[in-house]
């Protein structure tokens, strides 16, 4: 990127922010290439095994336990493991916010601005199948990509919706344990990687985004329970969008405090009173520009930490927007009549064939809707009248009396949880043919007739169906490699 294409006003702001000593190094960073990385899905593989077995060169990202640098031309986005949700391709600095939010298994987590899912996939992985992630994005089209990425990651305990934050707040005041607000921003930190964003900046700069961010951060704050943590992040440098937004929150919600995060030597501190916030500058680290601030909502006076009454406090209020038709929009889902305790025969048989599947976390329930079977997470979340794109895991579909397992189920399973597995080497040309939806001829089929879990290097990719020694490719049509 040539410096002449950066907006004058932006350069002036950066000079003020960094001072005359640091500014030249910042400018020089635009002469260097940006970095490409990937983040390993810890629910599918350990980072040690991944780095031993991956077929292209990777280098650890020093401040992200499961992050790796990989070359732009590594082929990571065409590798079968990418299709298997084994990793997410992500710029290294963008891995930071989700790594700093201390999500624990069992938490109720909200990702308010989640598409396309770079951070939501990591938050969900940190839940280890327990608790729930509600991933929202105001844009329906972007939320579709978010759903695909969460499904590819094999996440069952999630719901994806596309709502305005005020609507979410009316359903979930004080409800979540952890919230990520990865706010829409002017994108200054991405100018090196995406020069087109510099042109957008001149149309909609920091002051436009600042007012959106101030609204979002207060709405998110009101959805957090006392004692919970919220992480506010942007990929921009402007203090107006970063420190000023945090200060706006602290002024308007005095029960919040900015707290220190896990620190890495390349991080820079936030300006002024936001010392504990993290700034990432491309001249200090091998990543693009980012800002992250970890905030805690203090316990209410007199309420003990972890008080079970406290955890349930939101539910009474949530009950006020429980299921039924929304008279204004005609949207909404009725859960009452189609919840099921007993699965239809063929689906129950299929479930019985699974060996202790990890997605069955004991907290969910089954639901059948238009012949599709879902395993639902947290009842209260999915009972809200929201524009959901998905609630829980799509287990499969009844086709008359037959059951067809879903692509999402294949992604949520581990190879050892299914009895009939066909495992190709990732480098085997049949793996790519399978991902393209073509016919593949296995050396041997694991059963004479029935559903087979097709894997690459021991990690599931999708389904096939055998009949008379032949394999029919059942890889999801919308999931194929082009």
- Annotated active-site residue in 70, 113, 235, 455: 235
Nearer of residues 122 and 404 to ligand SAM, judged by Cβ: 122
Strands 278-280 and 58-60: unpaired
CB-based contact 108:132 (threshold 8 Å): yes
184 binds ligand SAM (CB under 6 A): yes
Among 113, 223, 285, 471, indicate the residue that binds ligand SAM (CB under 6 A).
113
State residue 296 phi and psi, 5-degree precision.
-120, 140
Residue among 98 and 258 whose Cβ is closer to ligand SAM: 98
Asked if 146 contacts 114 with a C-beta cutoff of 8 angstroms, the reply is yes
Site string for ligand SAM, 73-112 (x = CB under 6 A): ---------------------------------------x
Check binding of 287 to ligand SAM (CB under 6 A): no
Closest distance to ligand SAM from the beta carbon of 446 (Å): 37
* Nearest-angstrom CA–CA distance, 253 and 215: 12
How near is the Cβ of 144 to ligand SAM at its closest, in Å?
12
By CB under 6 A, the count of residues binding ligand SAM is 16
116 lies in the site for ligand SAM, by CB under 6 A: yes
Closest separation in Å from C-beta 135 to ligand SAM: 9
Q: Does 197 bind ligand SAM (CB under 6 A)?
A: no
Q: Which is nearer to ligand SAM, 115 or 223 (CB)?
A: 115
For ligand SAM, the closer of residues 81 and 232 by Cβ is 232
Min dist CB 149 to ligand SAM, Å, is 8
In the bound state with ligand SAM, the residue whose beta carbon lies nearer, of 219 and 261, is 219
* Interface with ligand SAM, residue 115, by CB under 6 A: yes
Are 136 and 162 a contacting pair, CB within 8 Å? Answer: yes
Nearest CA to 286 among 140, 457, 95? 95
Does 218 bind ligand SAM (CB under 6 A)? Our answer is no
Cβ nearer to ligand SAM, comparing 137 with 177? 137
> Peptide bond before 315: cis, by omega within 30 degrees of 0?
no
Can you tell me which of 142, 283, 296, 311 binds ligand SAM, judged by CB under 6 A? 142
State yes or no: residue 114 binds ligand SAM (CB under 6 A). yes
In 3D, which of 226, 244, 219, 224 has the Cα closest to residue 234?
244
Q: Which residues contact 288 (CB under 8 A, 6 or more apart)?
A: 34, 35, 91, 93, 94, 189, 190, 192, 193, 235, 280, 282
The whole-angstrom separation of Cα 26 and Cα 18 is: 8
How far apart CA 294 and CA 459 sit, in angstroms, is 35
Q: Which residue, 115 or 335, has its beta carbon nearer to ligand SAM?
A: 115
Stretch that binds ligand SAM, among 132-140, 260-268, 281-289, 387-395 (CB under 6 A): 132-140
Nearest distance from C-beta of residue 388 to ligand SAM, angstroms = 15
Choose which of 55, 77, 139, 252 interacts with ligand SAM (CB under 6 A). 139
Distance in Å, CB of 138 to ligand SAM, minimum? 4
Which span (55-63, 131-139, 407-415, 442-450) binds ligand SAM, by CB under 6 A?
Answer: 131-139
The span of 113-121, 265-273, 302-310, 449-457 binding ligand SAM (CB under 6 A) equals 113-121
DSSP calls for 199-244: HHHHHS-HHHHHHHHHHHHHHHHHHEEEEEEEEEEES---TTTTHH
Cα–Cα distance between 322 and 178 in angstroms, integer? 22
Q: How far apart are CA 84 and CA 153, in angstroms?
A: 8
CA neighbor of 384 nearest in space, from 321, 470, 299, 293: 321
**Given the DSSP bridges, would you call strands 132-136 and 158-161 parallel, antiparallel or unpaired?**
parallel
Q: How many residues does the chain have?
A: 482
Q: Does 118 bind ligand SAM (CB under 6 A)?
A: yes
Question: Does the footprint of ligand SAM cover residue 67 (CB under 6 A)?
Answer: no
Site for ligand SAM in 152-181 (CB under 6 A): 165
Eight-class DSSP state of 355: S
Contact positions with ligand SAM (CB under 6 A) in 14-33: none
Q: Which two tokens stand for residue 130?
A: 């327990």
CA atoms of 167 and 136, how far apart (whole Å): 11
Phi-psi region of 401 (alpha: psi -120 to 50; beta: other; left: phi over 0): alpha
Q: Closer CB to ligand SAM, residue 201 or residue 451?
A: 201
235 classed as catalytic:
yes
Which residue lies nearer to ligand SAM by CB, 114 or 221? 114
Min CB(117)–ligand SAM separation in Å: 5
Catalytic residues, by residue number, are 235
Interface contacts to ligand SAM, rule CB under 6 A: 112-119, 137-139, 142, 165, 182, 184, 216
């Amino acid at each position: 990127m040539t410096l002449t294409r950066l907006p004058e006003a932006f350069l002036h702001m950066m000079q003020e922010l960094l001072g005359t000593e640091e500014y030249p190094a910042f400018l020089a960073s635009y002469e260097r290439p940006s970095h490409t990385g990937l983040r390993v899905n810890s629910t599918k593989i350990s980072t040690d095994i991944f780095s031993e077995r991956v077929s292209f060169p990777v280098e650890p990202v020093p401040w992200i336990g499961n992050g790796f640098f990989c070359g732009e031309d590594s082929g990571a986005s065409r590798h079968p493991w990418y299709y298997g949700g084994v990793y997410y391709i992500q710029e290294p600095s963008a891995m930071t916010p989700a790594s700093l939010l201390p999500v624990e298994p069992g938490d109720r987590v909200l990702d308010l601005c989640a598409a396309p899912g770079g951070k939501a996939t990591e938050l969900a992985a940190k839940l280890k199948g327990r608790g729930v992630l509600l991933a929202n994005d105001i844009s329906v089209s972007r939320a579709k990509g978010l759903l695909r990425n969460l499904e590819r990651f094999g996440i069952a305990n999630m719901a994806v919706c596309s709502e305005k934050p005020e609507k979410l707040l009316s359903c979930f005041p004080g409800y979540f344990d952890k919230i990520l607000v990865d706010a829409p921003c002017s994108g200054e930190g991405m100018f090196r990687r995406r020069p087109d964003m510099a042109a957008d900046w001149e149309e909609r700069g920091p002051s436009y985004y600042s007012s959106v961010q101030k609204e979002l951060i207060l709405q998110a704050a009101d959805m957090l329970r006392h004692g919970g943590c919220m992480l506010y992040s942007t990929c921009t440098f402007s203090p107006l969008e970063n420190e000023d937004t945090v200060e706006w929150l602290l002024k308007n919600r005095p029960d919040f405090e900015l707290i220190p995060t896990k620190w890495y030597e390349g991080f820079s501190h936030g300006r002024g009173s936001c010392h504990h916030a993290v700034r990432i500058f491309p001249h200090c680290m091998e990543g693009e520009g980012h800002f992250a601030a970890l905030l805690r909502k203090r316990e209410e006076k007199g309420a003990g930490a972890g008080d079970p009454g406290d955890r349930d406090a939101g539910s009474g209020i949530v009950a006020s927007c429980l299921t039924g038709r929304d008279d204004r929009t005609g949207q909404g889902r009725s859960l009452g009549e189609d919840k099921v305790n007993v699965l239809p025969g063929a689906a129950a048989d299929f479930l019985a064939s699974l060996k202790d599947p990890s997605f069955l976390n004991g907290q969910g329930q089954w639901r059948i809707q238009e012949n599709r079977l879902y395993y639902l997470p947290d009842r209260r979340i999915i009972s809200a009248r929201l524009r959901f794109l998905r609630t829980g895991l799509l287990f499969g579909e009844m086709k008359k009396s037959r059951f067809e397992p879903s692509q999402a189920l294949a992604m949520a399973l581990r190879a050892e949880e299914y009895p009939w597995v066909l495992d190709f080497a990732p480098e085997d040309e049949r793996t790519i043919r399978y991902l393209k939806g073509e016919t593949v001829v296995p050396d041997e089929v694991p059963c004479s007739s029935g559903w087979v879990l097709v894997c690459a290097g021991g990690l599931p990719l999708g389904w096939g169906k055998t009949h008379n020694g032949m394999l029919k490719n059942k890889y999801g049509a919308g999931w194929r490699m082009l």
